Amino acid sequence: MAIEKCINEFDVGDVIFEEGSTGRELFVVLDGQVEIAKINGARKTVIVTLGKGEFFGEMAVIDGSARSATAICAAPHTRVMRINHARFVYLVSQQPAFALMVMDALSKRLRASNAVNYRAATP
């Protein structure tokens, strides 16, 4: 598959995927910004804003579970590259540095999430 078919462009406010949806691909930000957010009715809570070189959607590509948040384009002409499950498995098996990068990002995101939850639970 040509790499151009794996690249999509979004505009501000475009939803890349919604929380609860299924998907077996992750995304790498090539240009622009993407917000990862929790949506509750009309209320949006931005968890993180990602920029060039950062990725999102990795949990669904790893375990096939539903998306845990919504990904929304936050800058004009944002371009992302989709990496499907087969390509992800290939990259992990052939590029140990890629696997370590994904694990590092997951670890940092988990630690940040735990710190927020701890602060919220502490009186």
Question: Which CATH code is given to the segment(s) 3-121?
Answer: 2.60.120.10
What backbone phi and psi angles, to 5 degrees, belong to 81? -110, 130
For residue range 4-54, what is the model confidence (pLDDT) as tens digits?
689 999 999 999 999 999 988 999 999 999 999 999 999 999 999 999 999
For residue range 40-65, what is the model confidence (pLDDT) as tens digits?
999 999 999 999 999 999 988 988 88
Every domain of the chain and the residues it spans: 3-121
Please state the pTM of the whole predicted model.
0.84
Cβ(17)–Cβ(34) below 8 Å: no
Give the contacts of 17 (CB within 8 A, at least 6 positions apart): 23, 57, 67, 70, 71
